[in-house]
Structure 1
Amino acid sequence: MLRITEIKLPIELADTLKHQDDQIKAALLKRLDIPESDLIRFEIFKRGVDARKSHAILYVYNLDVEVNHEARVLVRFKKDPHIKPAPDTAYKFVTKATNTKPLRPIVVGFGPAGIFAALILAQAGFKPIVLERGKEVRKRTQDTWGLWRKRELNPESNVQFGEGGAGTFSDGKLYSQIKDTKHYSRKVLQEFVKAGAPEEILYVSHPHIGTFRLVGVVEDMRNTILSLGGEIRFESRVTDIAIKNQQVEGVTLLSGEYIPTQHLVLAVGHSARDTFEMVYDKGIYVEAKPFSIGFRIEHPQSLIDRARYGKSYSDDILKKLGAADYRLVHHAQNGRSVYSFCMCPGGTVVAAASEPNRVVTNGMSQYSRNERNANAGIVVGITPEVDYPDHPLAGVAFQRQLESHAFVLGGADYSAPGQLIGDFLANRPSTKFGEVMPSYTPGVHLTNLDTALPEFAISAMREAIPAFAKQVVGFDLADGVLTGVETRTSSPIRIKRDDDSLQSINTKGLFPCGEGAGYAGGILSAAVDGIKVAEAVSISLSGV
């Protein structure tokens, strides 16, 4: 197979899949200068969009191509960087179980990292036990709606806790900037497709699934793990880890049940604060790490579409490319970096609290991305060295402080505090909504957000929003809405692990994993980390 990159075609030529294939075929024959009889087959490996010229938007294809006389083609194009042998992206297990082990590996947490750690272990024959504090995804969804519709929070079953993890109630983005020389992300996407995700996620440049589709995908993956001999227990919170001579020996559940193991994958997500405290109290090495804080910002999706697509904006463009998104960064005069986070085209702002009497916001989109508003986090980076005491759990305390204050600012009923963009920039309280109606439920209480975050964050954001308007026209729309607070951008801690064995640096048999352990940020990177950790566990179990 050959990998042919940078094949560009006007998006107008791709009205149907057949038309797209016909145009790609013609472009390949011309690019390789071969007769049609020498082209055996091709498939799209990746399809991106080049929108730098708004009047002439292009699809950019990377293609895997099988041809007759491949060696001759490679010789003819040996100096062409866009025609090379296709890399082998097939997943290969590092080892497989040869016999039943007396103690099965345990995976704590069933978000993206835990799902893929358990899936790889199950596919390799190691029959993991999964312990998830929350409920299965459909029951969890009902509990989540309990907060959104009735202001009733279940601390064990919500946006943060339960089958699928925090990523279930998000945009379902499946792209990342991680280095991936072993093509683990391809394995992740292939497993999602096998579980019912749209096949297009294998090749579009910014794939996403959306919340409703993720529910079915997660259920299917659960059933796969069970069919391979894995065991999954919901409503099973781990409250203690037994350690002897710096070796994991087992875990204790809230029910009092003890389960022995010498291989424990800790994939609890970025909001498992009680687990962080337990891990720290057990003497397992934990350190504080940077994260970000800010607000959710909402604009009409049509404003973002017109700003990004420019002269090409039309119903036809929207049908082909979907709701537009953005990524923005501004370096403020006070030394702070302000950036957009988890942008959700055609989505909603959601209540993401996991502890009583606290308010947290996040963003979510369905696969269709057809809600009226666009939203994103506008956040400011903070570090333990500068912004909060250098204690491993100080970041947790800082998050709680901000979330508790947001609860009060919002009216102490799980409404979120909000402010119009124009009023925020002018530092005056908002009293009524304008063009943009906020999507956050249970509701938004208009106020002044000036005290919702530290002064350095507020001033940096007031500087950044007008700067962003130079890149996305209308970003400083006076009637746009800011909703607070966004504090769960990533884990505030890292459970440090050895670079080679991926075990805790001072506790053998403990494998910190995913976003909660400080080694991922988003669905794809967390899933990839789950695969890496599962491989490390497999090697340890096999004695390889």
Structure 2
Amino acid sequence: MSLKVTNIRLPVEVPEQELAIHIAEKLGIPAAEVQSFRIIRKSLDARSRQDLRFVYSAEVQVPDESGVLKNLREDSSVQAYSEVPFLDPESGTQPLDERPVVVGSGPAGLLAGYFLALKGYRPLIIERGFPVKERVPEIRHFDKGADFQNENNYLFGEGGAGCFSDGKLTCRLSGPDVQWVLERFVDCGARPSIVYEHRPHLGSNKLPMICRNFRRKIDALGGEFRFECRLEGIDVANGQIQGVMTSSGYLKTSQVILGIGHSARDTYHMLYELGVPLFRKAFQLGLRIEQPQEQVNSHKYGRDEYLSLLGAADYTMITKGKRDLYTFCMCAGGIVMPSISEPKMFCTNGMSNSRHDTGFANSGIMTTIYPEEFGSEHPLAGVELQRKYEAVAFELGEKNYYCPIQRPADFLNDRKTDPGFRYQGTYQRGVVASNLNQVLPPVVISQIQNGLPIMNQKWHGAFLENAVLVGPEMRGSSPIRIDRDRETYQTPGFRGLYPVGEGAGYAGGIVSAAVDGLLSAKKLVAQFAPLGSATV
């Protein structure tokens, strides 16, 4: 038996190496009796700018757990602890004639493929884009003014959109599946502390290496990747998947894990035409705000030494109301980037490298729009709403993927920013002074105009000072949910089709998408026997 000790509150100056001493003090025992401990959770209490504290939870082994519990029976922060085990299903008995196909190499597809490979199913992972080594130079060329590439960009390619999406691993889920996913990231090169940090962050510069290491492990276990292989159709007979049509030819298979991501709009249309049940879903959209990182640090840190101890400061804010407005994917020391999956469209996102060192912070300023506000009951109405405003943004950006920008004061007064305004920020390709009131639905504009001044008041006027708004930000989550059975994870009427991750409407971030892919793979494993020597 172990103990779980929670609410260990220490000044941020105290190194983790001294944690055992403070655990012993809390338990009322000599430090030598702390045989071992493992940090379960580490978060930052930033309520006092002058007294920032880390709050730890830890699993602890001591010689006399029962005696400690008896002495501290009134202390709810010390309890007996037994970790919930990871459920690793026994392989099923139903035979597979061909190896399963995983569509997409984003977090959902990657973790699904990895688990299947571990269990001996030799998955074939098809990816419409390019290997990450070829993505990086193409993205750099685009940022410098090169033409947009339909299948090699920030959103399509090895690692999916997640490969260039800042690398935040924040997740509302918890439990052994989350722990398993985080440990696999560590196995592939992430720092070990991500398994217990409250807001773990990989960094956009680290993600390509981690994705590449996942591929190497899957390859070594008998899996296979095929790049430049776009899903174009699904072969179905009598409600059972028979195979998939791709840009590289037909692949015979009865099991397809569909991890397409939330920007594969052509695939959504193919699924709709095929009769796969799709439903409109609320999604998040808004603008992105960029301000000097020093301004954020000054607001969040009450002591100069905090910057060297903690690095660039981040923030979260929400204004409550009939429709909440909230910050989203805040990127400390980050970069504003284009989030484009098709030509003649424009929207933004943010990312930051592991060092958070650009000198600028950016964050989404987002709200939620609901299906009844899409203007149509068509299952793809949310996609068309996104396209409508992304096309407007492309026009404002001089049809060259320049980023529309606006001073906050001009946005609040619905007036175009002066073309002579000098932009100081991180969007590399170029910017155009605009009126961002044109790039979002009126109901969203109204909410941002109401909520931004409230956010500024919370910062005593420092939130909008020296800030610039960019946008739109349209890809906060998927506007579609692909129907699936809660027990089997398969789509009704399409046996063998497992829609997963953000693109299917069942996740919202790297970790939740990875967990969803893992769970789908578990369902497949529990039903089918490992593949023998058959190949596609």
Q: Which category describes the TM-score, using the shorter chain as reference length?
A: over 0.9
Helix, strand or coil at the partner of 1:324: coil
**Percent identity between the aligned chains?**
39
**Which residue does the alignment assign to 1:295?**
287
Aligned to 2:247: 254
Equivalences for 1:43-192 in 2 at 5 Å? 43-88=38-83, 90-96=85-91, 101-178=96-173, 180-181=174-175, 183-192=176-185
Encode CA deviations 1:5-25: one digit per residue, 9 max, x unaligned: 1111112222xxxxx323x22
Is the contact between residue 435 and residue 480 of structure 1 (CA under 8 Å) also seen in structure 2? no
Cα deviation, 1:152-173, whole Å, max 9, x if unaligned, reads 1111111111111111112200
When residues 379 and 221 of structure 1 are mapped into structure 2, their CA distance, relative to the original with a 3 A threshold, is same
Q: What is residue 312 of structure 2 aligned with on the other side? A: 323
Partner of 2:17: 21
Task: Report if the CA contact (8 A) 2:35-2:61 is conserved.
Answer: yes
1:522 counterpart = 2:509:
yes
Q: Secondary structure at the match of 2:521?
A: helix
Distance in 2 between residues matched to 1:85 and 1:102, nearest whole Å: 48
Letter paired with 1:177? R
The answer on 1:244 being equivalent to 2:245 is no
Instruction: Report whether the alignment pairs 1:201 with 2:194.
Output: yes
- Residue 478 (structure 1) shift: 4.8
- Give the structure 2 partner of residue 17 of structure 1: none
Query: Contact 1:127–1:230 at 8 Å: present in 2 too?
Result: yes
Letter in 1 for 2:453: P
2:483 alignment partner in structure 1: 496
Give the residue type in structure 2 aligned to 1:358: M
The alignment partner of 2:9 has SS state of strand
Whole-Å Cα distance in 1 between the matches of residues 400 and 392 of structure 2?
A: 12
Distance 1:478 1:11, change over 3 A: closer
Output the CA distance in 1 between the equivalents of 2:454 and 2:423: 21
How is 1:330-341 mapped onto 2 (pairs within 5 angstroms)?
330-331=319-320, 335-341=322-328
1:100 to partner: Cα distance:
7.7
Q: Which amino acid aligns with 1:328?
A: M
Task: Answer yes or no: is the 8 Å Cα contact 1:171–1:344 preserved in 2.
Answer: yes
Any idea what SS the aligned residue of 1:469 has? helix
Q: Give the superposition deviation at 1:92.
A: 3.7
Q: Deviations over 1:16-75 (max 9, x none)?
A: xxxx323x2221222112233422111222211111122211111111111102232233
Is the contact made by 1:132 and 1:234 (CA closer than 8 Å) also made in structure 2?
A: yes
Q: Structure 1: which amino acid aligns with 2:138?
A: D
What is the CA distance between 1:423 and its match in structure 2?
A: 1.5
**Displacement, 1:90?**
5.0
Structure 2 match to 1:416: 403
Show the counterpart of 2:533.
none
Shift of the alpha carbon at 1:321? 1.7
Partner of 1:226: 219
CA–CA distance in structure 2, aligned partners of residues 510 and 525 of structure 1: 20
Residue 101 of structure 1: how far off its partner (Å)? 3.4
1:240 deviation in Å? 0.7
CA 1:156–1:116 in 2, change beyond 3 Å: closer, same or farther? same
Structure 2 partner of 1:280: 272
Is contact 2:100–2:254 with CA below 8 Å preserved after alignment?
yes
Match of 2:519 in 1: 532
- SS state at 1:44 partner: strand
Q: For the residues of structure 2 that align with 1:385 and 1:68, how far apart are their CA atoms?
A: 60
The structure-2 alpha-carbon separation of the partners of 1:87 and 1:390, relative to structure 1 and needing over 3 Å to count, comes to farther
| 1:296-311 map, 5 Å | 296-309=288-301, 311=302
Could you tell me which amino acid in structure 2 is paired with residue 6 of structure 1? Answer: N
Question: Counterparts of 2:288 and 2:426 in 1: how far apart (Å)?
Answer: 11
Where 1:240 maps in the other structure, the secondary structure is strand
Residues 147, 351 of structure 1: 8 Å contact kept: no
Range moving further from structure 2, 85-94 or 532-541: 85-94
2:140 aligned counterpart, secondary structure = helix
Shift of 1:93: 1.4
Residue 6 of structure 2 corresponds to residue 5 of structure 1 = yes
Given that 1:294 and 1:377 are in contact with CA atoms closer than 8 Å, whether structure 2 keeps it comes out as yes
Give how far 1:468 is off: 0.5
Once the 2 structures are TM-superposed, how far is the Cα of residue 540 of structure 1 from its aligned partner?
2.2
Q: What's 2:204 paired with?
A: 211
Contact 1:95 1:124 in 2 (8 A): no
Residues 1:460 and 2:483 aligned together: no
Deviations 1:346-368 (A, max 9, x none): 10100111111111110010011
- C-alpha separation in 1, matches of 2:498 and 2:520: 7
Is residue 355 from structure 1 mapped to residue 342 from structure 2 by the alignment? yes
Alpha carbons of structure 1 residues 300 and 436: separation in structure 2 relative to 1, 3 Å? farther
> Is contact 2:300–2:313 with CA below 8 Å preserved after alignment?
yes
Q: Distance in 1 between matches of 2:148 and 2:412?
A: 33
Amino acid at match of 1:267: G
1:432 deviates by 4.9
Give a deviation string over 1:71-98, Cα, whole Å, max 9, x none.
3223333443211233325534112478
Query: CA offset at residue 213 of structure 1?
Result: 0.8
Contact 2:41/2:198 (8 A) holds in 1: yes
Q: 2:129 is aligned with what amino acid?
A: G
Q: Is the 8 A contact 1:418 1:446 kept in 2?
A: yes
Q: Which moved more, 1:426-435 or 1:51-60?
A: 426-435
Q: Distance in 2 between matches of 1:500 and 1:395?
A: 27
Q: CA deviation at 1:106?
A: 0.9
Aligned to 2:35, what secondary structure does the other structure show? strand
Cα distance in 2, alignment partners of residues 42 and 55 from structure 1: 29
1:121 alignment partner, SS class = helix
Tell whether 2:493 aligns with 1:506.
yes
Secondary structure, counterpart of 2:477 in structure 1: coil
Greater mean alpha carbon deviation, residues 284-293 or residues 33-42: 33-42
Give 5+ residue unaligned stretches, structure 1.
15-19
Query: Structure 2 matches for 1:379-398, cutoff 5 A?
Result: 379-398=366-385
Equivalent position to 1:33, from 9, 28, 35: 28
3-state SS of paired residue (1:402): helix
Structure 1 residues 194 and 476, CA gap change in structure 2 (3 angstroms) = closer
CA distance in 2, matches of 1:13, 1:111: 38
Name the counterpart of 1:42: 37
- Cα drift, residue 199 of structure 1: 1.5
For residue 288 of structure 2, give the secondary structure of its aligned residue in structure 1: strand
The 3 A distance-change label for structure 1 pair 281 and 89 is same
